[in-house]
Amino acid sequence: MSAVAQLAGVGVRRGDRWILDNVDLDVEEGQRWVLVGPNGAGKTTLLQILAAQLHPTVGLVEILDEILGAADVFELRPRIGMASSALVHRIPDQEKVGNIVVSAAWAVVGRWNEAYDDQDVARARELLERMGLAGMVDRTWGTLSEGERKRVEIARALMTDPELLLLDEPAAGLDLAGREQLVDVLSSIFTDPDAPASVLVTHHLEEIPAGITHALVMADGHIVAAGPVETTLTSDVFSDAFGMPLTVSHADGRWNARAAH
C-alpha cells in the first residue's frame, strides 16, 4: 500500500494556543478513516490540512506525494474531494443539481452553466443515481431537503474522481431517515474497493458507515488514539477523550456510545 497522506509532528498555533499539537498520521491507499472527538478537538482543522487548505505552524505534511509548502496547491486541490457545509452556503437556491455536481470538474462554485462535455454530464448523472438521487438533475438546490443536499455535496466531491475523499460531518442536522439514507450511501462508497482513501469526521458513532477501516480519536488538539477501528473505538479511549465514563458498543455492523452507569 502506498501513502496518500502523511503528517509528522504537525501543530497549528492560534494566538497562544496549539489547536493541533504534535499530530502524526498515515493514511494509506484503500483505508477509510473516521475522525471523532469532542467539540473543539481540532477535527476540522486537521481536515483543512488534509485538504491542502491550511498550512500548519510546525510539522511535515505530505499529501498525494506532494509536500505542503512546496507543492502547487492549485494542482493538488482538484485531486482531493471535499464535502463540507462551507461550500453549501455559496450555492444559489435556483441552481440546478446537475450543474452543482458537474461544475466540480472545474473546481469552481459560482461559474455555473459552462458548456460541460457529455462525458462529465453522464458522470454527474451516474453519481447522483448512486447517491439515490436519480431523476433530480434538473431540480433546483432551493427545493432539496437537507438530506438530499448532503448527498449532492458528496456526489460533487466524487465528481473529479479524487484520490483522497474528505467528508466533514455529512450527517449533521439530518433527521433519522436522512441520516440512515446517508449512512447507506456512505457504506456503499466505503465498501467499494475502487473508492478513494477517505477521512470522515463525525460526532456520533451511530453515523459510522460500513467499510470504515481505521479511527482517529482526538481531544483538545491532540491524538488520544489512532489505528484499526475495532481496537481504537473502545470505552477506555472514548472515556478519556470526552472526560466522562462512556461505554462503546458495536453490534450488527453499527457503533454506539452512551454514558456508562
Ligand X SMILES: Nc1ncnc2c1ncn2[C@@H]1O[C@H](COP(=O)(O)OP(=O)(O)OP(=O)(O)O)[C@@H](O)[C@H]1O
- Footprint of ligand X (CB under 6 A): 14-15, 19, 37, 39-45
The nearest distance, CB 57 to ligand X, in angstroms, is: 12
Which CB atom, from 14 or from 258, has the smaller least distance to ligand X? Answer: 14
Which CB atom, from 14 or from 111, has the smaller least distance to ligand X? Answer: 14
The nearest distance, CB 70 to ligand X, in angstroms, is: 24
User: What is d(CA 57, CA 76) in angstroms, rounded to the nearest whole number?
Assistant: 20
Q: Is the dihedral angle over the CA atoms 62, 64, 67, 68 positive or is it negative?
A: negative
Which CB atom, from 85 or from 140, has the smaller least distance to ligand X? Answer: 85
The nearest distance, CB 179 to ligand X, in angstroms, is: 17
Which CB atom, from 43 or from 151, has the smaller least distance to ligand X? Answer: 43
The nearest distance, CB 42 to ligand X, in angstroms, is: 4
Contact residues for 209 (Cβ-Cβ < 8 A; gap 6+): 183, 184, 186, 187, 189, 190, 200
User: What is d(CA 149, CA 185) in angstroms, rounded to the nearest whole number?
Assistant: 13
Which CB atom, from 39 or from 113, has the smaller least distance to ligand X? Answer: 39
The nearest distance, CB 99 to ligand X, in angstroms, is: 29
Alpha helix (H) residue ranges in the chain: 43-50, 73-76, 85-88, 97-102, 118-130, 146-159, 176-190, 229-232, 235-242
* Residue at grid coordinates 438530499: 148
